[in-house]
Structure 1
Amino acid sequence: MPSQRALGIAVIGTGKMGADHVRRLQHVISGARVTAVVDIDENRAKTLADASEGCTAYTEAAAAMAAQDVDAVLIASPGPAHEAALLDALGCDLPVLCEKPLTPDAASALRVLEAEQKLGHRRVQVGFMRRYDTEYIKLKRLLDSGELGRALMLHHRHRNLSMPPWFTNEMLINDSVVHEMDVTRWLLGQEITAVTVHKPAPTSHAPTGMDDPQFVLFETEFGALADVEIFGHCGYGYQVHAEAVCERGTVRIGDEPGPRLSADGRWGGRITPDYIERFDDAYDREVQAWVDATRRGEVTGPGVWDGYAAAAVCEAGVLSQREGRRVQVELTERPALYR
């Protein structure tokens, strides 16, 4: 039902992303306040809760969801913990914003999808924040307008300054390229049907055992192709670019904004260091849209089907990465709830 008061939000996971969402909800977003934080590290949760008036720290998500002052849940814990939290939230019929991935694999994502279907209505939004980025929104509108004709190809570049030492080959697909998987589906309005991962000679800056960079090719259900350059250790900053090649023109987004400086015989500008700074505005718009929709009693934005589809494409991508071959994506039939 629509709500006229500020939503009480439980934030599950108080790491880098969770703490940033607590800050966002408390100081940027209107119509909501953080009433609970959850983390297995009790001290970390308590430290964050103590800094927010009226906020309680918990070590178990189910306990926070049962609290009277919790109206909705934002999940920012590591991916393997998402399924249990999502099923608990659906069991309480609570609205959820879940950071990607929905779950780490297609089987667990399918279980969440089945649980939401049993409710008979959508409750979960998945945190694919690029759909809320100004440049991606403009690109989507242009493609949907038909002004340039059909989109035939998409070219994506996704570069990181560096990756944490614990980052793996599989995580390059599951935690990085997953964004291009979702945004390709969204921009084209098509499912991805096959994935091929190519691995050039690795950079000397990649840790032992990591194939970095990689080149990923998506095939879609209506014949478009999309490629992704994922480079985890480019060494100079964080960049995300996309270019659509259409029947009557091309359009590119992601070029660095100003200011452009010319001095001492050089010209150039600044490159953002990480994803939080690059997509800070998109995160703000995403969370505000979720809060506004929840207060209206609605669910908008990418949902459980999108999270499940991304997980299925990730599985195909990891298999292609390991075996060096083209792998078809296996999807169940799309339920009526998500059409």
Structure 2
Amino acid sequence: MAQRGTLGVAVIGTGRMGADHVRRIHQVISGARVSAVVDVDAERAKRVAAPVHGCTAYTDPAAAMAAADVDAVLIASPGPAHEATLLTAFEHGLPVLCEKPLTPDAASALRVLRAEQGLGRRRVQVGFMRRYDAEYVKLKSLLDTGQLGRPLMLHNRHRNVASPPGFTSSMLISDSVAHETDVTRWLLGHEITAVTVLRPTPSANAPDGIQDPQFVVFETDGGAVVDVEIFVNCGFGYQVQAEMVCERGTARLGDGHALVTNMAGRWGGTIAQDYTERFADAYDREVQAWVDATRRDEVTGPSVWDGYAAAAVCEAGVRALEEGGRVEVELVDRPPLYGTSA
């Protein structure tokens, strides 16, 4: 298949994630260049664009997408802005890498799904970067061989040093556990059918009014049970760990023991302090995979269906947090456009 030349990418949103993607495409990724950046803050957009030769700063996503040197779009703006940006990209026939969440709720995600269905082809890869992390890829490959037997349980731990300003109890699920939602579906090939949220006594380190930590339990249509410890004010570092328990064995990732030192009467290693450090390689591989597929006029990786399913599970999780008890996940039938497996 013929391959496009260098891909001109418009990065929409120049906050921490967007600026990091601009750096990544400009300095790390092959086959693409940043031809436009967009932000409602014009001065910030100009600052991010300035080091990139030939990059134009915009405040209007539609204007950037109409530019002749824009071939694809990377959306890194806040979640509530995603739906309108995605629909505009569809109007311009542009392929998209959209950071999670696809949209903040299941209803808007379903509107995007139906709009993409109307195109008759996939145009969006959703930014669930854990699918590109070396340890998760190795675990997925091992599970797919069947050597460990049928998956029975998956234990997850997700810890952050501190929550950012404005973080709420429900955001522990919608912004953080969203990652475990997707990786559970991907690793197991199951859909999540119900969510229960248990509420330990909040940590003294959590801001007033924030229920942190939380213990989230998923049930799946394949009979597996999955738990997630989410603790966003642990104080000591950023950790993502998982252990898969199967009929004939277990597999664990995220221990972070690549380098262990012995010095001054102590042994140990370092703990990453945020997600951009822990998943730097995964982000690089994710964006490179998107660029390579787009240049082949293909779309691979997490789909709009995956974004919709994650939104629906997170909505059920927020209800379980706020109302208590077990909440079932409601999904529409999976359209043929998105295949048959989770």
Normalised by the size of structure 1, how large is the TM-score?
0.99
**Aligned equivalents of 1:165, 1:39: Cα separation in 2:** 21
CA RMSD, Structure 1 to Structure 2 (Å): 0.8
Is 1:93 aligned to 2:93, yes or no?
Answer: yes
**Aligned equivalents of 2:179, 2:241: Cα separation in 1:** 12
SS where residue 115 of structure 2 aligns?
helix
**Aligned equivalents of 1:24, 1:218: Cα separation in 2:** 34
Letter paired with 1:55: C
Q: Which residue of 2 aligns with 1:172?
A: 172
Decide whether the 8 Å contact of 1:113 with 1:305 is kept in 2: yes
Deviation at 1:2, TM superposition (A): 4.6
Structure 1: segments with no counterpart, 5+ residues: none
Is 1:61 aligned to 2:50, yes or no?
Answer: no
Residues 187-226 of structure 1 mapped to structure 2, 5 A cutoff: 187-226=187-226
Letter paired with 1:172: L
Deviation at 1:281, TM superposition (A): 0.1
Is 1:264 aligned to 2:253, yes or no?
Answer: no
SS where residue 169 of structure 1 aligns?
coil
Decide whether the 8 Å contact of 1:238 with 1:275 is kept in 2: yes
SS where residue 305 of structure 1 aligns?
helix
Letter paired with 2:161: L
**Aligned equivalents of 2:234, 2:24: Cα separation in 1:** 29
Q: Which residue of 2 aligns with 1:127?
A: 127
Structure 2: segments with no counterpart, 5+ residues: none
Q: Which residue of 2 aligns with 1:139?
A: 139
Decide whether the 8 Å contact of 1:165 with 1:207 is kept in 2: no
**Aligned equivalents of 1:258, 1:82: Cα separation in 2:** 37
Letter paired with 2:287: V
**Aligned equivalents of 2:202, 2:337: Cα separation in 1:** 43
Q: Which residue of 2 aligns with 1:28?
A: 28
Residues 188-219 of structure 1: per-residue CA shift (max 9 Å, x gap): 00000000000101110001110110000000
Q: Which residue of 2 aligns with 1:238?
A: 238
**Aligned equivalents of 2:72, 2:296: Cα separation in 1:** 13
Give the 3 Å change call, closer, same or farther, for CA 195–2 of structure 1 in structure 2: farther
SS where residue 170 of structure 2 aligns?
helix
Residues 70-107 of structure 1: per-residue CA shift (max 9 Å, x gap): 00000000000000000000111100000000000000
Residues 136-164 of structure 1: per-residue CA shift (max 9 Å, x gap): 00000111100010000000000011111
Q: Which residue of 1 aligns with 2:117?
A: 117
Normalised by the size of structure 2, how large is the TM-score?
0.98
**Aligned equivalents of 1:146, 1:309: Cα separation in 2:** 25
**Aligned equivalents of 1:193, 1:2: Cα separation in 2:** 42
SS where residue 256 of structure 1 aligns?
coil
SS where residue 67 of structure 1 aligns?
coil
Q: Which residue of 2 aligns with 1:274?
A: 274
Q: Which residue of 2 aligns with 1:325?
A: 325
Q: Which residue of 1 aligns with 2:72?
A: 72
Deviation at 1:165, TM superposition (A): 2.4
Decide whether the 8 Å contact of 1:2 with 1:294 is kept in 2: no
**Aligned equivalents of 1:249, 1:3: Cα separation in 2:** 43
**Aligned equivalents of 2:65, 2:2: Cα separation in 1:** 19
Q: Which residue of 2 aligns with 1:84?
A: 84
Deviation at 1:170, TM superposition (A): 1.1
Residues 219-267 of structure 1: per-residue CA shift (max 9 Å, x gap): 0001101000000111100000000000001110001133212222221
Q: Which residue of 1 aligns with 2:300?
A: 300
SS where residue 245 of structure 2 aligns?
strand
Q: Which residue of 2 aligns with 1:46?
A: 46
**Aligned equivalents of 2:182, 2:238: Cα separation in 1:** 19
SS where residue 285 of structure 1 aligns?
helix
Deviation at 1:274, TM superposition (A): 0.3
Of the structure 1 ranges 85-94 and 258-267, higher mean CA displacement relative to structure 2 is found in 258-267
Of the structure 1 ranges 158-167 and 17-26, higher mean CA displacement relative to structure 2 is found in 158-167
Letter paired with 1:142: L
Letter paired with 2:152: L
**Aligned equivalents of 2:2, 2:254: Cα separation in 1:** 37
How many residue pairs get aligned? The number is 339
**Aligned equivalents of 1:313, 1:136: Cα separation in 2:** 21
Residues 146-161 of structure 1 mapped to structure 2, 5 A cutoff: 146-161=146-161
Is 1:182 aligned to 2:182, yes or no?
Answer: yes
Letter paired with 2:317: G
Letter paired with 2:50: D
Deviation at 1:166, TM superposition (A): 1.1
**Aligned equivalents of 2:34, 2:222: Cα separation in 1:** 44
Is 1:251 aligned to 2:248, yes or no?
Answer: no
